[in-house]
A and B are shown apart, each in its own frame.
Chain A
Amino acid sequence: MMMEYDLRGKGGILKLDAAAVQELMPAFVLGALDSEELMAVDDYLQEQRDLLARLEQLDEVTAQLAYVAPAQLLASKVKEQLLERARQDVANSGPPVQATNPFNAPASTARIPAFVTQQILPQGNQPPAVQPLRRLSTRPQPATAPARNWFGFVARTIIASSAAAAIILLILSTVQLRNKVDQLAAQISTSQQQVSLLESEKSQFQQINQQLQAQLDADRKQFAFYSQAEQVVTLTGTKDAPGARAEMYFSADQAQLVLHGLPPLPDTQTYQLWYIPTNAAPVPADLLTVRPDQNEAIALTVPPEQRNFAAIGITIEPAGGSPVPTLLVLQGSAT
């Protein structure tokens, strides 16, 4: 049996200890907790980091459940549209980073950064740093060159090749710097978009948080009313509504009626509440509306003269109510 826990602190706020959080963590990662338990577990994990590793383990287990889903046929257009969108995003953000698979790059070009080879080399060419030297070294010599000019020729060759290499290095550096600037500009643009998206999300989360907080406050008030009620009457369904039940909580001249299992009625009918004194006819009271698929909690004001009832009943009446009860569906005794 699951360990019972309820560590409500001041104000009725649920506080959990480590043992309770451990028990709830499988349901937490599944997203299967009620809002109160969810917030209590989240609060604990924010303040105490000791269970984060366990959370990660359970998250991995949960992720595996996705593989159990039956296999479906995924249309190829989904991939095509997504990749086209990505390409357009790259084009709009700046110079595209052409995708290369470094594991498949030929050895000669793998030593040179990919963006360099793509910017200045047609496909398939060798790195230019090698070619000028080879061309110069294989330049045919004049057949009749005098021997005393040989050193000058070598010197001129070395100087020319050095100059060519320097020029190429300068070009490479310029291209590299230019690409770096473009990349940084693209990153700034992306970051700005992300900030905008995050701000929008933050606003949405704040709104949701406010709604949850309002609901939580309402729930707490209701629970406080129930726990402090002076009198509680339990109503059970008659043979005409065997699945229905209700509880009515009284405190001073206020009451909360909680209905379960009553189906909604057509517009031509309504539920009606009756206070039944001892040895007297039932006194008609509030008309009640039930919404589909929800348990109703209805706040009522009890007339002082009806406070000393012997029993309570709920009937089905024509729209607008009735001075005398027609079809009894719920009844409960005050004692």
Chain B
Amino acid sequence: MQTERTENPPSPSDEALLQRIQQKDVLAYEQLYNRHAPTLYNLLMRIVRDQQIAEEVLQESLWLVWQRAEQYGGAGSVAAWLHRIARNRALDQLRHQQSRPQRRPEEISALVAAPALQRPSAAHEAETAWRQQQLYLALSSLPVEQQQCLELAYFDGMSQREIAEQTNTPLGTIKTRVRIGMEKVERLLRAAGLTERDSS
């Protein structure tokens, strides 16, 4: 007896969703939101450390995507484009407030903090959890000083000079740590297959 096999259709790629969003497809917009908003929100909360501000910046960033989806030029992944938009807006907000919390060196936590390993919420896909695991392995292999430099630069928007002043370390040393740290992360992520552009 023949039986019909039904297979779930493949999820549309991020690029396909953006094309549909250009046509003002609200369902595609919702799919993009479901896929990326949790990660973006985590990033924004880490930068601005304020729930209300993080929610506002998230809305502003994703509204910009709705209005200007055509500006994704295809260079790099859609996720990288979204992260860049959100991070830049969050850092602008931080500078506008001019109230970046100053932390003593001993308070700067390592980039690989325990909460990053929390079990994913219902909204997170399994792939995101796997990605976090690979990142943890990559970053934990870096010396703590390099992790700290990357954290201060990426999440706190500090320049190398500001990092040097905050950590009381020569500027040349900070420059070397940033460069070598990023190059190591790149090699490890490439080995884990995380720097290929994802199709969905």
Contacts and interface: CB of A to CB of B under 8 A. Distances in A.
Interface of A: 1-2, 23-24, 26-27, 29-34, 56-75, 78-79, 81-83, 85-87, 89-90, 93, 96-97, 99-101, 103-104, 186, 190, 193-194, 197
A83 B62 CA distance: 10
Contacts, number: 189
A64 B194 contact: yes
Q: Which 8 pairs from chain A and chain B are nearest by CB? A: A99-B27, A103-B9, A70-B115, A63-B80, A26-B182, A69-B46, A69-B42, A32-B153
Given A58-B182, A70-B42, A2 B160 contact: no
A86 B113 contact: no
Nearest to A183: B23
Nearest to B80: A63
A68 B67 CA distance: 28
Interface in B49-105: 54-55, 58-59, 62-63, 66-68, 75-77, 79-80, 83-84, 87-88, 91
A26 B178 contact: yes
B174 to A, nearest CB: 9
A63 B83 contact: yes
Contacts of A29: 182
B83 A27 contact: no
A99 B25 contact: yes
A78 B58 contact: yes
A226 B164 CA distance: 23
B111 A71 contact: no
Contacts of A64: 131, 135, 185, 189, 194-195
Contact of A66 (B12, B42, B161): B42
B40 interface: yes
Nearest to A63: B80
Nearest to B21: A86
A38 B25 CA distance: 38
B179 to A, nearest CB: 5
A30 B37 contact: no
Looking at chain A's contact residues, the main secondary structure is helix
A56 B131 CA distance: 20
B10 to A, nearest CB: 7
Given A58-B182, A64-B185, 13 more contacts: A30-B178, A57-B195, A66-B40, A67-B128, A68-B135, A69-B45, A70-B45, A71-B118, A72-B41, A81-B59, A90-B26, A93-B24, A97-B23
B99 to A, nearest CB: 12
22 contacts: A30-B154, A30-B178, A32-B158, A32-B159, A33-B160, A57-B186, A60-B197, A61-B185, A67-B42, A67-B131, A69-B39, A69-B116, A70-B42, A71-B38, A71-B118, A74-B123, A79-B33, A79-B37, A86-B26, A87-B26, A89-B24, A93-B24
A90 to B, nearest CB: 5
Given A34-B159, A34-B160, A81-B59, A2 B175 contact: yes
B27 A101 contact: yes
Nearest to B198: A60
A113 to B, nearest CB: 13
Contacts of A186: 24
Contacts of B75: 56
A254 B73 CA distance: 53
A162 B153 CA distance: 71
